[in-house]
Structure 1
Amino acid sequence: MTDHYDVVIVGSGAGGGTLAHRLAPSGKRVLVLERGDWLPRELENWDATEVFVRNRYVSKDTWYDHEGRAFQPQVHYNVGGATKFYGAALYRLREQDFGELQHHGGLSPAWPVRYDELEPYYTQAEALYQVHGARGEDPTEPPSSGPYPYPAVSHEPRIQRLFDDLAALGLHPFHSPSGIMLNEADPAYSPCIRTATCDGFACLLHAKSDAEVVAVRPAVAHDNVTLVRNAEVRRLETDGSGRTVTSVVADVDGEEQRFTGDVVVVSAGAANSARLLLASANDRHPHGLANGSDQVGRNYMFHNSRAFLAISLDRNDTRFQKTLGVNDYYFGDDAFPYPMGNVQMVGKSSAPMYRGEKPVEARLAPMFALQDVADHAVDFWLSAEDLPEPENRVTLNAEGQVVLSYTPNNRQPLEELYTRVKGNLGHLGMHPHHLVPRDVYMKNDIPVAGCAHQAGTVRFGTDPATSVLNADCRAHEVDNLYVVDTSFFPSIGAVNPALTAMANALRVGDHLLARLG
């Protein structure tokens, strides 16, 4: 292909896919390059053995840790990016997350934009991704310019009991904001809810609000938007000045092709966006494209998270469990005056998941015993803020492969949060002393293999000495280069980052429309 485009977008997930959707009605020529293909719609989408034991949809990439040990990252390359397998929990960052926050383990830096600048785009993103929720339940909820576009997804009976029991303890449980497509004539019914959980699975029925279904498919219905699949972008080339990207070089089905555009937007995920910029080093950018600050690849974050299941005294027949959240401890309490984080539910356990997540421990256990545990499991996900550290970073080895160096930080808030949840279990209809860790990294020995909620490697800011991008997410050093995945985050907060990426992509989309005229 030799056609020239107004905008070339690398990646079709929460950032890139949403941006394509914003630009599509403008008539501007937009090219989306996606490393993967359409995810097959097949029964295996909902098969826990295929998904969790056989890793049917996980990439074959090999990455390395800082000691040179190889691991398989839990990343997925498909149209729609990571949203194909996310849990569709679409939270706004709290208003305070945009300012400087003192944590137990250090300082979380301020963003170069305020919450109120992003708020209109949060509202637009919630409408686009059909977010169901209820304002006013969460005490940490940031200001909003209107209600959720759709009513909250109702709790199934066991989760409603949990909601009521938490409220009886003086806490403020709320309906988790969920991006799923309900039949609004019958809000209790959704094909996604009735047939499979969406957390960790792709939705065979396209009933989950992922970037493919919500953004990319509508975008490519416009004649001016082109999607090229199976296109792995290898490097970006610039003119002699180093100020303008002139070519996007990609391997398309095994053949090298070059694409050109007035504007190039990278949205390949925090690790792979950093990899691409580092791999694009040239005479003008000897340490990587747009890396005069030496910040590309640094400050990798991916949340301090813990998943565990409690054993309910009664059966838990819930199918869609991710309807409940608790943020009472988000900014701390009297006993621990530092931010702790978010409590929400994770996708419902099943016996095959244990085979995949804990192969050694589950090997000798009969399936009926594992299923009995699953039948009584109530699954929690705790998320605390991971602070940006310059030495937590992405680099490349001699073969150009990703090296992910990571040392955990700010871990005490997660322990404090876990202690509080654990201490309440006896009041929530659970066995208080029977907790089972869930290995959310599925058979990998090092935590970074999970790659969930990755962010921060191409941070934005006002100072070119300490950031890669300006407040519009344009590279300080390259006039036509933007980044719109979660790489731009200077901090990550303690809630799921997808909605913030979507909202920011809409914001950057409006900027690009103004720039292009």
Structure 2
Amino acid sequence: MKSAQYTADIIIIGSGMGGATLAAALAPTGRKVLILERGDRLPDTPEARDPAAIFQRGHFKPNETWRDISGAALHPGNYAYVGGNTKFYGAVLLRYRAEDFRPLRHLEGTTPGWPIAYADLEPWYSKAETLYRVRGDVAGDPTEPPHSAPYPFPPVPDEPDIAALRQAFAAQGLHVSALPLGVDIDAWLKRARTGWDAFPCTTGAKSDAESCALVEALKHPNVTLQTNTKVTRLLSEARRVTGVEVERFGTRETLTAPTVVLSAGAILSSALLLASANDDHPTGLANKSDQVGRNFMNHNLTGMVAYNPFRRNRTTYEKTIQVNDFYLTGGPNGEPLGNIQMLGRITGPILAGESGLPLWLSHHIAEHSIHIMAMSEDLPDPNSRVFWRNGEVVLDWRKTNTKAHDLLVKRLKQAMRKAGWPITLARGFPKSKPSHQCGTNRMGADPRTSVVDTNLKAHDLDNLYICDASVLPTSAAVNPSLTIAALALRAGDHIAKAQP
């Protein structure tokens, strides 16, 4: 029976992809769910679709400072709003490939595999695609794993210049397929004619955690969202979390629930566990294995501007196709290289803000170029990690698998030249961008080498679950959002059955 002093039956810390999706899964159970979000709802303002405000003035970036391992300041691109980073994500909702769940040999190491198989997660992928209104098509991609249900909507249509690029890639023997996307393109363009990648959704046209999962969860009177609530510490005794310390509008209080779920993201979830050390857990909560904060992964990402002064790019959103011919092979001995997918449309103000080039030159380059991205797996490394020092987050990201990524970038440059875009300007994503951060509280069957079990419950605590990108054992080479959502739905099913 629930004790009268409990604030809720289940407290979920964070309203991003993991937390909001879990809330949607638990809402029909009737149990009292309290979602804590450190930010507020993002209002619909002119800046929401203003590329200069977003990319040049950093209008939406949080006033937050972390440190790198040398102590230098690091200003993260993570966002503190209801819906978390999904408010600004590119809405690519790809499944991991079936091979990603098994050990996979790369140029610079072998991934450990997962404690569950693709088949264990597949039904939840289908449910997540329905919840997030994914537009896609399984045809054309040789690496696409089996689906038990079709995509709920057809793919977002290619614009003419992207259709031409698709044909040019196909002429080279490449297999081009539709990017699975969570965006209602007609509704999105009705608000303003921009791309959606890195633009916040304030109208529900993009399938982010707020507009899909949270909307569903809050239809139920037993679910409450509390904004502007920063969790500072988890209290615990022996094997139970006994309280959640929060700051809200200058006051501190402790909230309690029989079950607590941490969904603050790969960096902040692990930092909070480390900050919650006590006599029973001297190295941090859930950290008997010494794995909390370790194995940080962030993908190897290179954005490419492929330029031709005699051609124009007439697209508005651009981001509709992908190539996975090098996903499972392509290395000197058949090693995987990664995924190729379109970037969102880069305009003059965006390029000026990202590159520092003069606006006039940025306009010219943007109008005469195609924008595409290479993404390779970042392998888990226990020395790539998050620390909590002197009340601050410290990030020591050690990139791996860079040889494979360099080879993928080379292959992409060759393909773009053959497609009629001969001058390629490539730039890697900096560590400040939240480019698919994951891995710091890894899932595993062995408590000695992992933080949570296959149901996302912490090995060391009986009432703590972790439900976000931090539990991913590997980063694969696809966007992680749909996998986080599928894991959240699976965990929600388990928690609903396990709760009295």
Secondary structure at the counterpart of residue 43 of structure 2: coil
Residue 232 of structure 1 and its aligned partner are, at CA, apart by 0.7
Aligned match of 1:83: 86
- In structure 2, stretches of 5+ residues that fail to align are none
Aligned match of 2:240: 244
What pairs up with 1:437-476 in 2 under 5 angstroms?
A: 437-438=426-427, 440=429, 447-476=430-459
Secondary structure at the counterpart of residue 432 of structure 2: helix
Q: Which amino acid in structure 1 is aligned with residue 327 of structure 2?
A: Y
8 A contact 2:42–2:202 mirrored in 1: no
8 A contact 1:46–1:204 mirrored in 2: no
Percent identity between the two aligned chains: 44
What pairs up with 1:109-128 in 2 under 5 angstroms?
A: 109-128=112-131
- Paired residue for 1:209, among 197, 207, 210? 207
The reply to whether residue 285 of structure 1 matches residue 274 of structure 2 is no
- Paired residue for 1:435, among 404, 410, 424? 424
The reply to whether residue 424 of structure 1 matches residue 415 of structure 2 is yes
8 A contact 1:191–1:205 mirrored in 2: no
The reply to whether residue 492 of structure 1 matches residue 484 of structure 2 is no
Residue 192 of structure 1 and its aligned partner are, at CA, apart by 6.2
8 A contact 1:80–1:211 mirrored in 2: yes
User: For residues 195 and 177 of structure 1, do their structure 2 counterparts lie closer, same or farther at Cα, with a shift above 3 Å needed?
Assistant: same
User: For residues 335 and 388 of structure 1, do their structure 2 counterparts lie closer, same or farther at Cα, with a shift above 3 Å needed?
Assistant: closer
Partner Cα separation in structure 2 for residue 192 and residue 502 of structure 1? 28
Greater mean deviation of Cα atoms: 341-350 or 197-206: 197-206
Q: Cα deviation per residue 1:353-380 (whole Å; 9 max; x = unaligned)?
A: 2232122xx1xx3x33321111122111
Secondary structure at the counterpart of residue 238 of structure 1: strand
Q: Cα deviation per residue 1:461-504 (whole Å; 9 max; x = unaligned)?
A: 01111001111110011000000101001111000000000000
What pairs up with 1:336-415 in 2 under 5 angstroms?
A: 336-359=333-356, 362=357, 365=358, 367-398=359-390, 400-415=391-406
The reply to whether residue 23 of structure 1 matches residue 15 of structure 2 is no
Aligned match of 1:99: 102
Aligned match of 2:145: 142
- Paired residue for 2:319, among 301, 317, 322? 322
Secondary structure at the counterpart of residue 71 of structure 2: coil
Partner Cα separation in structure 1 for residue 361 and residue 103 of structure 2? 48
Aligned match of 1:444: none
User: For residues 192 and 246 of structure 1, do their structure 2 counterparts lie closer, same or farther at Cα, with a shift above 3 Å needed?
Assistant: farther
Q: Cα deviation per residue 1:325-362 (whole Å; 9 max; x = unaligned)?
A: 00000012374511100000111111112232122xx1
Q: Which amino acid in structure 1 is aligned with residue 265 of structure 2?
A: G
What pairs up with 1:299-338 in 2 under 5 angstroms?
A: 299-312=295-308, 313-333=310-330, 335-338=332-335
Aligned match of 1:220: 218
- Paired residue for 1:159, among 153, 159, 162? 162
Residue 5 of structure 1 and its aligned partner are, at CA, apart by 1.1
The reply to whether residue 47 of structure 1 matches residue 50 of structure 2 is yes
Partner Cα separation in structure 1 for residue 260 and residue 382 of structure 2? 26
8 A contact 1:265–1:481 mirrored in 2: yes
Q: Cα deviation per residue 1:215-270 (whole Å; 9 max; x = unaligned)?
A: 1123123210111101110111113xx21111111111221121111110001010
Q: Which amino acid in structure 2 is aligned with residue 486 of structure 1?
A: A
Aligned match of 1:34: 37
Secondary structure at the counterpart of residue 316 of structure 2: coil
User: For residues 205 and 191 of structure 1, do their structure 2 counterparts lie closer, same or farther at Cα, with a shift above 3 Å needed?
Assistant: farther
Aligned match of 1:509: 492
Aligned match of 1:13: 16
User: For residues 202 and 121 of structure 1, do their structure 2 counterparts lie closer, same or farther at Cα, with a shift above 3 Å needed?
Assistant: same
8 A contact 1:249–1:259 mirrored in 2: yes
8 A contact 2:95–2:125 mirrored in 1: yes
Q: Which amino acid in structure 2 is aligned with residue 344 of structure 1?
A: Q
Q: Cα deviation per residue 1:308-334 (whole Å; 9 max; x = unaligned)?
A: 110144211111211000000001237
Residue 436 of structure 1 and its aligned partner are, at CA, apart by 2.2
Q: Which amino acid in structure 2 is aligned with residue 506 of structure 1?
A: L
Secondary structure at the counterpart of residue 470 of structure 2: helix
Aligned match of 2:111: 108
Secondary structure at the counterpart of residue 403 of structure 1: strand
User: For residues 163 and 221 of structure 1, do their structure 2 counterparts lie closer, same or farther at Cα, with a shift above 3 Å needed?
Assistant: same
Greater mean deviation of Cα atoms: 120-129 or 257-266: 257-266
Residue 206 of structure 1 and its aligned partner are, at CA, apart by 2.0
Count of aligned residue pairs for this structure pair: 496
Secondary structure at the counterpart of residue 233 of structure 2: strand
8 A contact 1:3–1:259 mirrored in 2: yes
Aligned match of 2:465: 482
Secondary structure at the counterpart of residue 123 of structure 1: helix
Q: Which amino acid in structure 2 is aligned with residue 412 of structure 1?
A: K
Alignment RMSD (CA, Å)? 1.6
Residue 426 of structure 1 and its aligned partner are, at CA, apart by 2.7
Residue 51 of structure 1 and its aligned partner are, at CA, apart by 0.6
Q: Which amino acid in structure 2 is aligned with residue 331 of structure 1?
A: L
Partner Cα separation in structure 2 for residue 349 and residue 72 of structure 1? 23
Q: Which amino acid in structure 1 is aligned with residue 112 of structure 2?
A: P
Q: Cα deviation per residue 1:364-413 (whole Å; 9 max; x = unaligned)?
A: x3x33321111122111110000111110000112x10000122211011
Partner Cα separation in structure 1 for residue 52 and residue 27 of structure 2? 38
Partner Cα separation in structure 2 for residue 204 and residue 6 of structure 1? 30
Q: Which amino acid in structure 2 is aligned with residue 122 of structure 1?
A: Y
